[in-house]
């Protein structure tokens, strides 16, 4: 299994999409926020694969000290532009899990969060780097929560929500992001299994692996109704949480 996709290719289109994407607004980010304490003020939070920084800004506006890293220089450039427009003290770093340790200015972190990123690991070794670097950067007793693509998902090759998920030869998957005119941009990633994530977390020292279901918020259901048919039952995403044991 190998994937070399980089968000530099689709950064502008993806950033436009993120702002209004129902999946981000009513499922992915609410999932992430539900994993965090209700008060994040004063907490140090690492946002892995922060993209253009939407989630980082939500956390920083609530008083968290946030550091986001991403391996797409375009995504980081857009995040820094937003930080200029609305200074929130967020540090954005151009990095990969291979080189983030030592670059992060405010470690150790209380919490690390990652939304829709780990399945872009290029192979199992790279996936391990996401877990092991995060383990080094989070304090003992801290935790890591990640939303990933759900390997049990079934409805490929259909228009679902504002995406079409496709199976590619060689174990790759593809998400076509749709807008009113058709496919706006495409991302491809690897089909890591639930067991892959569980085993890699255990291998790198994390404990208490827990899968945490992804739900649509009541606001999202009220606004978009049948848009969400089947979403929770056959969810494109799966989320988990792991804890770094106290020494
Ligand atoms: C689907 S986007 C999610 C962005 C953001 N977390 C959000 O939810 O809005 C995936 C992000 O992961 C980043 N990414 C993929 N592989 C990465 C890697 N090896 N290291 C750091 N970031 C990576 C991409 O550049 C992209 O910004």
Whether 158 is in a domain gets the answer no
Instruction: State the pLDDT confidence band at 1, using cuts at 50, 70 and 90.
Output: very low
Whether 159 is in a domain gets the answer no
User: What is the model's pTM?
Assistant: 0.94
Could you tell me the two tokens for 234?
Answer: 């056959």
Q: Highest mean pLDDT: which of 14-18, 189-193, 194-198?
A: 194-198
Nearest CA to ligand 1 atom 8: 115
Query: 79-85: long-range contacts at Cβ-Cβ below 8 A with a sequence spacing of 24 or more?
Result: 79/50, 79/51, 79/52, 79/53, 82/52, 82/53, 82/57, 83/53
Q: Determine the structural domain holding residue 213 and report its residue range.
A: 7-151+193-226+234-243
Question: C-alpha angle with apex 215: 140 to 13, nearest 5 degrees?
Answer: 90
**Does the pLDDT at position 4 exceed 80?**
no
Instruction: State the pLDDT confidence band at 170, using cuts at 50, 70 and 90.
Output: confident
Whether 163 is in a domain gets the answer no
Whether 93 is in a domain gets the answer yes
Whether 140 is in a domain gets the answer yes
Ligand 1 neighbourhood includes 96 CB (under 6 angstroms): yes
User: What CATH number is associated with residue 75?
Assistant: 3.40.50.150
Task: Write the DSSP assignment of 199-243 as a string of letters.
Answer: HHHHHTT-EEEEEE-----HHHHHHHGGGGTTTTTT-SEEEEEEE
Question: Tell me: the pLDDT tens digits for 21-61?
Answer: 899 999 999 999 999 999 999 999 999 999 999 999 999 99
Ligand 1 neighbourhood includes 70 CB (under 6 angstroms): yes
CA of 120 to the centre of ligand 1 (A): 8
> Best of 6, 7, 66, 137 to mutate for ligand 1, by most ligand atoms within 8 A of CB?
7
pLDDT at 2: 44
Task: Output the furthest CA–CA distance in the chain (Å, rounded).
Answer: 54
Whether 170 is in a domain gets the answer no
CA of 8 to the centre of ligand 1 (A): 10
Ligand 1 atom with the smallest distance to the CA of 126 is 19
CA distances from 145 to 11, 19, 202 (A): 24, 22, 14
Nearest CA to ligand 1 atom 26: 51
Ligand 1 neighbourhood includes 18 CB (under 6 angstroms): yes
Whether 156 is in a domain gets the answer no
Could you tell me the two tokens for 33?
Answer: 């926020």
Number of domains in the chain: 1
**Does the pLDDT at position 18 exceed 80?**
no
Ligand 1 neighbourhood includes 236 CB (under 6 angstroms): no
CA of 51 to the centre of ligand 1 (A): 5
Ligand 1 neighbourhood includes 46 CB (under 6 angstroms): no
Whether 80 is in a domain gets the answer yes
Ligand 1 atom with the smallest distance to the CA of 8 is 25
């Amino acid at each position: 299994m190998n994937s070399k996709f980089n968000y530099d290719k689709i950064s502008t289109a993806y950033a436009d999409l993120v702002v209004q994407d129902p999946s981000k607004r009513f499922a992915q980010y609410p999932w992430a926020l539900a994993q965090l304490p209700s008060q994040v003020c004063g907490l140090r939070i690492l946002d892995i694969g922060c993209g253009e920084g939407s989630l980082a800004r939500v956390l920083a506006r609530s008083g968290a000290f946030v550091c986001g890293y991403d391996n797409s220089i375009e995504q980081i450039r857009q995040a820094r532009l937003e930080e200029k427009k609305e200074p929130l003290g967020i540090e954005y770093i151009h990095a990969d899990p291979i080189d983030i340790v030592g670059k992060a200015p405010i470690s150790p972190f209380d919490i690390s969060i990652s939304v829709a990123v780990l399945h872009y690991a290029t192979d199992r070794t790279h996936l391990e780097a996401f877990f092991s670097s995060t383990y080094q950067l989070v304090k003992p007793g801290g935790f890591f929560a990640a939303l990933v693509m759900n390997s049990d998902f079934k409805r490929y090759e259909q228009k679902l929500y504002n995406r079409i998920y496709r199976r590619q030869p060689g174990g790759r998957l593809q998400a076509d992001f749709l807008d009113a005119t058709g496919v706006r941009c495409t991302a491809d990633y690897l089909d890591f299994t639930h067991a892959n994530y569980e085993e890699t977390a255990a291998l790198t020292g994390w404990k208490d692996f827990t899968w945490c279901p992804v739900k649509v918020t009541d606001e999202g259901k009220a606004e978009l109704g049948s848009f969400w048919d089947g979403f929770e039952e056959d969810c494109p995403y799966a989320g988990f949480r792991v804890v770094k044991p106290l020494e």
